[in-house]
Structure 1
Amino acid sequence: MIWLLALVSCFGLICAEEPFRHNDRVIGGSDAEPNTWKTQVSLQFDSSGNRYFSHICGGSVISSFYIMTAAHCILSTDASHYQVVVGEYNLAEYEGSEEFISVKRIIVHPDWNGDLGNGNDIAILRLATPIYANGYVEIANLPYPDQMLPHGFTCYITGWGSMDHFGNSPDKLQQAPINIVEHAVCSKPEWWGSLALKTMVCAGGDGIISGCHGDSGGPLHCFSDDVWRVHGVVSYGPAGMCNQVSKPTVFTRVSSFIYWMYSVMNEN
């Protein structure tokens, strides 16, 4: 359980005001078309040690050996408790496009301290075997160092987050368009205030579309410089109903951590 400024949070969701009941999913989204978001990963966890894995978070393929996700998705430092599934679309069916790969090593950002408001919510997983280029998987394009997108720029959030406050989850990958909220707006007191750092990306906040837990660690896809790039890693949002006005989904800004990621991958 994560705590933030003496407020209870729910696995990547900061408790803000709660005028509504809990409602979890890629809010306002729809089924993605199969084989569309090829960089998307399902990060799966086995708490029992019996090799029974279930989806807990999203992630992005950043090389044939590495996956990018959120630090708060790391529930154990024992890599044997994790597997990643690439080429996934329907979690309830085996479709022949999936690759199930064990995790060899977990590298959490050294400045992550469990406090979502402090930022640095990013981790890299080193796989035990490389991803096979089977036509259903791609390596994500990443943004330039410190690249920022303008206010109102439309991106896409994807994931398998649960669909309602009863915990019902979609089998098929969900997607939704979501607009960037610039830091000058997101850091206003009536928005996220001091919890919104420049190393984060805010998107949504219209009361219609948002991410939620279960989507944590997953990508924010933005078409910039003529290619799709993963500009964000789902980090936190409001507790209660996830699609609250002026409480956008907050992502770790990938462009702020490019040099760290490359140094980790070069060292390992």
Structure 2
Amino acid sequence: MTAAHCITFGRTYRVILGEYNRNIQEGGEQFIMPSVIHVHPNWNTNCVACGNDIALIKLSKHAVLNDKVQTACIPPFGDILPNNFYCYITGWGRLYTNGPFPEKLQQAYIPVIDYTHCSAPDWWGTTVKRTMVCAGGSEKSGCNGDSGGPLNCKGFDGLWYVHGVTSFVSSYGCNTIRKPTVWTRVSAFTYWISEIMVNN
């Protein structure tokens, strides 16, 4: 699963599982070519804030699960995280606005900002849709280059769920106050994901 805006048709993609340090091959990586990529049919390449920024990548062969490669669950349809619920963002995006890209995978433990707060006029306003989820703040957030990465949250059942796909940050900067990172809310697309998985 990734962001639709990360996919450009005509390009060749390769999925690397178990990656940590992008500058060296550590031995645990699995390199797999996609067999097909499904971009949401309502995705508009000219309007990230319109929503539907999600795509599914089917691998050409099965991944090998081990201590470096594991699966996560898709949340139930319509599942909404409560305000101030903490989740993990991971990625190789810039360390700060206009900053360098890291060699090693970064992670941060950040709070979810519910729709009522995130869509307030002095926050994201109408830019944020109900099919999105906001998280982070002025201390820790996503940044350019984190797109397509997950918002991983541990459920009350002890399982890990991918609640978000990193979509966009503010043009004013990655850590702008009242402009948290915005994800595509995976639970808004559970039925589409299921349909793609069943038919492909």
Q: TM-score, length-normalised on structure 1?
A: 0.71
Shift in Å, 1:163: 2.4
Of 108, 112, 131, the match for 2:63: 131
Aligned residue in 1 for 2:105: 173
Which sections of structure 1, spanning at least 5 residues, go unmatched? 1-67
Counterpart contact for 2:96–2:143, Cα < 8 Å: no
Q: 1:100 aligns with which of 26, 31, 34?
A: 31
Give the Cα separation in 2 of the matches to 1:224 and 1:135: 20
* Contact 1:103/1:126, CA 8 A, preserved across alignment: yes
1:63 aligns with none
C-alpha RMSD over aligned residues: 1.3
Q: How many residues align?
A: 198
Runs of 5+ unmatched residues, structure 2? none
Partner of 1:30: none
Moved over 3 A (4+): 164-167
- Cα distance in 2 between the residues matched to 1:96 and 1:265: 30
Counterpart AA for 2:3: A
Q: Which amino acid aligns with 1:125?
A: I
2:82 maps to which of 145, 150, 174: 150
Q: Does 1:193 align with 2:125?
A: yes
**Percent identity over the alignment?**
49
Aligned to 1:117: 49
Query: What residue number does 1:221 align with?
Result: 152
Partners of 1:233 and 1:151 in 2: CA distance = 18
Q: Which amino acid aligns with 1:70?
A: A
Q: What is the match of residue 32 of structure 1?
A: none
Partner residue in 2 for 1:245: 177
Q: Retained in 1: the 8 A contact 2:96–2:174?
A: no
* Offset, 1:165: 5.0
Q: Secondary structure at the match of 2:116?
A: helix
- Report which structure shows greater RCO (CA 8 Å, sep ≥6): 1
Output the CA distance in 2 between the equivalents of 1:199 and 1:166.
Answer: 28
3-state secondary structure, aligned to 2:169: strand
- Determine which structure has the larger strand proportion and give its number: 1
Q: Which residue of 2 aligns with 1:211?
A: 142
In 1, Cα distance between the equivalents of 2:66 and 2:86?
Answer: 30
Shift of 1:84: 0.6
Cα deviation digits, residues 40-82 of structure 1 (max 9, x gap): xxxxxxxxxxxxxxxxxxxxxxxxxxxx00000012x136x10
Among residues 154, 162, 165, which one is paired with 1:233 in the alignment?
Answer: 165
2:7: which partner in 1? 74
Match of residue 86 from structure 1? 17
Aligned equivalents of 1:127 and 1:167: distance in 2?
32
